[in-house]
Amino acid sequence: MSKAVAVSSLSKIQTRISIAIVAVMFFIFGFVSWINAILIPYFKIGCELTNFEAYLVTFAFYISYFLISVPASFLLQKVGFKKGIMFGFWIMSTGAFIFIPAAYSRTYSVFLMGLFTLGAGLAILQTAANPYITILGPKERAAQRISIMGICNKAAGILAPLIFAAVVLRATDSDLFKNLANMNEVEKTIALDELVQRVIKPYLIVGILLFLIGLGIRFSPLPEIDTDSDSKERPGSKESKTSIFQFPHLILGAAAIFMHVGTQVIAIDTIIGYAGSMDIQLLEAKVFPSFTLAATICGYVLGIILMPKIISQVNALRFCTMLGLVLTLLVIYAKGEVYFMGLKADISIWFLVLLGLANSLIWAGIWPLALDGLGKFTKLGASILIMMLCGNAIMPLIYGHFADVYNVRLAYWILVPCYAYLVFYAVKGHQIRTWKF
């Protein structure tokens, strides 16, 4: 492992190169993650699933964060950032290759294994990249840097479902989906086998690219940085901390990450299904995740422009959490058909799209507040925050259950307590520095 250096010792050029390399990584994170938005309805049709079963896509992908993030922090301590990132990309590559036998057999459980493996590699990369970009510069501009990374992530998310649809779906598939119910079992099996096997070539290419990117990162100029010396514990502490659980603002922040990623993935990964409830076919509905992600990018751009000169990181967090709560209630209660962006739909779906704007600065706001003053616990604290990305796994399943029991609209009630907690953390929770039992 190459010698770690303090962030303060990096030149401006080294810092900019490092930020650029991490930005590329965040683009890849987004491409691999947000393609789930179209994989869910695709597998629901191709593997004949219920809503609950279809949302196992996100469960398998993101539960790996809960299981892998802490081991990932120990891996990074052992081999360093660069080798750890390389291993992360190679594990993702393995996950992409698993899609090939899964598609040949049209076995949903094998697809889920591939998704879990992709998520495991991504958990390692996220555990490295998020604390890296958080401390790579002035603390008061951390949310600004994270917002730039978010633009890269969400731009990839806009492209991912559109590229997937262009490569895998065909103009005649609308007729195929309508006629499936009228086919006999043999005809249906042949049609669905052909549909699912279309993912083989794109995931073969993705697997090869991920392997090569990992190799490229290993020999890139990305420096090893000393996260411990660049993140000191809060001055004035009466006693040194001996456990990560002695930082309430971190533990409460971890819960906030859980709630936030859950609301974000529900807003994006359920919107195609919600459009389907309005009789909008998959080939038309495929654009809605991109609209939501575009709204998120608008929020990131505003954050970069406004923070910290015009609005502080914490006030931006407060505004976004409150906006999310208001928009959720509008999704549930607002009704009326509108024609917008060439699509006729209930107005509530556009409030769901606007949740992308509300969610834009929440992640960027939580990270610097939760990692503040952790000192030698920074890497472990970051891994705990990354673990909470399992909210992406659990929240859509809860949504899917309520969608099956009630309907896809009423299931959005699950977002209300999530945004209420986020408002609490933004207003009060991040200020709590000692536990009182």
What local confidence, expressed as pLDDT, does residue 411 receive?
Answer: 96
Q: What are the structural domain ranges in the chain?
A: 11-222+245-431
Contact 348, 335 (CB under 8 A): yes
- 123 is written with which tokens? 């958990």
What local confidence, expressed as pLDDT, does residue 24 receive?
Answer: 87
Q: How many CA atoms lie within 13 A of 22 on its CB side?
A: 28
Residue 80 dihedral angles phi and psi, to the nearest 5°: 95, 170
Q: What is the dihedral of CA 366, 372, 378, 382, to 10 degrees?
A: 0
Mean pLDDT for each consecutive 10-residue tract of the chain (437 residues)?
A: 64 82 87 82 88 86 87 84 88 95 92 94 85 75 80 84 84 82 88 91 92 88 65 49 87 96 92 91 86 91 87 93 97 93 91 95 90 81 87 90 93 97 96 82
CA 296 to chain centre: 12
- 91 is written with which tokens? 């594990």
Which amino acid type is present at position 318? R
What local confidence, expressed as pLDDT, does residue 6 receive?
Answer: 64
What local confidence, expressed as pLDDT, does residue 226 receive?
Answer: 63
What local confidence, expressed as pLDDT, does residue 117 receive?
Answer: 95
What is the pTM for the complete model shown? 0.77
Contact 189, 46 (CB under 8 A): no
Give the span between the Cα atoms of 424 and 419, in whole angstroms: 9
Residue by residue, DSSP assigns 77-137 as HHH-HHHHHHHHHHHHHHHHHHHHHHHHHT-HHHHHHHHHHHHHHHHHHHHHHHHHHHHSS
Alpha helices, DSSP H, located in 277-361:
282-285, 288-306, 313-333, 348-359
Give the sign of the dihedral formed by CA 26, CA 431, CA 303, CA 58: positive
Contact 20, 241 (CB under 8 A): no
What local confidence, expressed as pLDDT, does residue 238 receive?
Answer: 41
| Level-2 CATH architecture, domain 11-222+245-431 | Up-down Bundle (1.20)
